[in-house]
Chains A and B, each alone.
Chain A
Amino acid sequence: MKKKIADILRQRFYGDESPLDEDMIASLGEQPQGLTRSSNEALEALEGVRELRVQRAQEQEHEMYRQIHAWSYSSGVKIIQRLYRILSAVTCFGIVMFLLWTVNTLPPFGDPGNPDNNEVAARYVELGPGETGAVNMVTGMILDYRAFDTFGEATVLFTAACSALFLLKLHDHKDGKPTKTWLEAEYDDRFHEPKNDQILQFAAKLLTPVVLLFGFYVVLNGHITPGGGFSGGAIMGAGLILYLNAYGFKKTERFFTYRTFQWVTFAALLSYAGLKSYSFYTGANHLESGVSLGVPGNILSAGFILPLNICVGLVVMCTMYVFYTLIRKGGV
């Protein structure tokens, strides 16, 4: 068996020829008759022949590998791509079919007896206003019963903004001189974005105060009407982005810079943590905060929910604006 494999290998590397050259066989045969040691010349000739053979074998091997690579880059890639497309289409179809099959076991739409409408939801709606002081039960739930979770959400947003900053921020100045990438980004921004667009500027002049005011209203009334920190913050961020689009970075930098972002988000997250630290201490158990809950439905009611909503709204506003500026130009 071993001999057979050796034969095959020899065949592959040396072709039909024997590894021993005729000269070599001849010189082997000559040796015993003449000198006891072969001369230097004879040894060198043998070496030369051997090197030549090794070289040829290596060339053949390289040729083989090159052909395999060429195949894998041309038709191999094509086959695998086609296979991938077919497999992914089949996978998607299978998943959709499987999910549609599970529809059979799901409860009907809008039925009061569905398993998720259990005693937890009933308790929230029944006792919520008395315990949290909020009329909007979703806000009461996420900013009082589950305030710890919402703090995590605000932190997720802040972390995402930090990662985007880390990935996208271009160094604007180095040794007092603007860097090349910064100048390129500035040129792109000037070139591709219309400047001094009359219609846009007029619309922004009309709309920005209204949008910002409406966002602030939604934030402040989060515990009374539908809305809250997240939606109001997104509206305020949209207002800032509209103003930026109309008037450019020069004007927004008068009131919103990188330092503003840093300080506003830092202060908002810190005050959130400070306001809710008592519940962090007790493992988010519901405790009396000592602040009176007021009359549910009044603007100054619901204990800590109003300041917490303002904190969340500020974080969301800054994050939205920073995402936009980073993705557009690579700077705040």
Chain B
Amino acid sequence: MGDILSLLWTHLDVTVAILLFGIGFTTLLLHHNLIKKIIGLNIMETATFLFLTSQGFIAGRAAPVLAEGAAAAGYVNPIPSGLVLTGIVVSVSVTAVMLALTIRLYRRYHTLDIDSMTLMMKGEDE
């Protein structure tokens, strides 16, 4: 047990990212409110970004904004930052579209609860 804890402590960034992912996933699955589901998905995305950016970090090095005459070995890895930038943009777009769909559903059914919404939809079908 002590070994496992010390391993998790040395990989603290990954551990926190995994826990955040778990919290987001549980929120996504267990809540009936659509807005809370979207929040859960956003927490999951944040966990992924945390994991990606932390993989690019190198201890004791500066951000990749190059200074005059500094050695190339003095900077952290710029690639994960660029990838996370892409991810953030896509997550913002997806969140916006999901919220728009939720608003449309609310305008029609006047509820955010997914179960009562499904029951109403079934009632419409019959």
- Which residues of chain A have a CB within 8 Å of any CB of chain B? 81, 85, 88-89, 91-93, 95-96, 99-100, 103-104, 106, 108-112, 114, 116-117, 120-122, 124-126, 128-129, 135-138, 141-142, 146, 149-150, 153, 156-157, 159-161, 163-164, 167-168, 224-226, 230, 296-297, 323, 326-327
Contacts and interface: CB of A to CB of B under 8 A. Distances in A.
30 contacts: A81-B115, A88-B26, A88-B30, A96-B18, A99-B22, A103-B7, A103-B14, A103-B15, A109-B10, A109-B57, A110-B57, A110-B58, A117-B58, A124-B78, A124-B79, A125-B72, A135-B66, A136-B64, A141-B82, A153-B85, A153-B90, A156-B93, A160-B97, A163-B100, A164-B96, A167-B103, A167-B104, A230-B89, A296-B66, A326-B100
Contact of A167 (B7, B63, B92, B100): B100
B15 A168 contact: no
Contact of B8 (A89, A93, A103, A164): A103
Given A121-B56, A137-B64, 4 more contacts: A92-B25, A125-B75, A136-B65, A149-B86
Contacts of A226: 63, 65
For the complex, would chain B's binding face be called helix, strand, loop or mixed by DSSP majority? helix
A226 B85 CA distance: 13
A168 B104 contact: yes
B100 A85 contact: no
For the complex, would chain A's binding face be called helix, strand, loop or mixed by DSSP majority? helix
Interface of B: 7-8, 10-15, 18-19, 21-22, 25-26, 29-30, 54-61, 63-66, 68, 72-73, 75, 77-82, 85-86, 88-90, 92-94, 96-97, 99-101, 103-104, 115
Contacts of A96: 18-19, 21-22
Nearest to B94: A160
A323 B58 contact: no
Contact of A110 (B59, B63, B79): B59
Contacts of B55: 114, 116
Q: Which 4 pairs, one residue from A and one from B, show the smallest C-beta to C-beta distance?
A: A160-B93, A110-B59, A96-B22, A88-B29
A197 to B, nearest CB: 25
B30 A89 contact: yes
A176 B85 CA distance: 45
A103 B12 CA distance: 10
Nearest to B25: A92
A88 B29 CA distance: 6
Contact of B81 (A92, A138, A159): A138
B1 to A, nearest CB: 13
A112 B58 contact: yes
Contacts of A225: 65
A117 B77 CA distance: 6
A161 B97 CA distance: 8
A161 B96 CA distance: 8
B18 A100 contact: yes
Nearest to B54: A109
B105 to A, nearest CB: 10
Given A116-B77, A116-B79, A141-B82, A128 B66 contact: yes
A128 B25 CA distance: 39
B58 A111 contact: yes
A91 B96 CA distance: 28
A156 B90 contact: yes
Nearest to A223: B65
B4 to A, nearest CB: 9
A323 B86 CA distance: 19
B10 A108 contact: yes
A110 B76 CA distance: 9
A297 B67 CA distance: 9
Contacts of B22: 92-93, 95-96, 99
A116 B56 contact: yes
Nearest to B26: A92
A160 B79 CA distance: 25
Contacts of A95: 21-22, 25
